[in-house]
Amino acid sequence: MGVYVFGFSDDIGKRSAREFLGGKGAGLREMVGLGIPVPPGFTISTETCKAWNDAKGQFPKGLTDEVKAAMAAMGQNVGRTFGDAKDPLLVSVRSGAAASMPGMMDTILNL
């Protein structure tokens, strides 16, 4: 599983959430578990990022399809489509890691 969709599945096995989802992803997972309203979203696992790095920048097999499915699920949840000219689904992309690195990671809003 390369993509973890919040609120649809909680199966991360025996791994710690921080190790599998990074700090931000683990925090979002915890908030969902507590019933705190969290916008629809997903995290690409740290394992997938490691596989990408090991493959010298080649996406792991199936990742593109997983991301497309997660984006479609988010769009369905809010009634919008990513890339729609009139009423697009806007997303934010945040990088993260298992270790805290304040100020070192990028955020892209309203993509």
Please report, to the nearest 10 degrees, the dihedral formed by the alpha carbons of residues 63, 91, 30, 14 taken in order: 0
63-107 pLDDT, tens digit per residue, is 999 999 999 999 998 999 999 999 999 998 888 766 777 777 788
Residue 26 · residue 10 · CB < 8 Å: no
pLDDT at 54 > cutoff 60: yes
- pTM here is 0.77
pLDDT surpassing 70 at residue 1: no
d(CA 45, CA 77): 22
Please tell me the CATH superfamily of domain 3-108, with its number: ATP-grasp fold, A domain (3.30.1490.20)
- List CB contacts of 55: < 8 A, sequence separation 6 or more: none
Percent with pLDDT over 70 in the chain: 87
Domain boundaries, the chain: 3-108
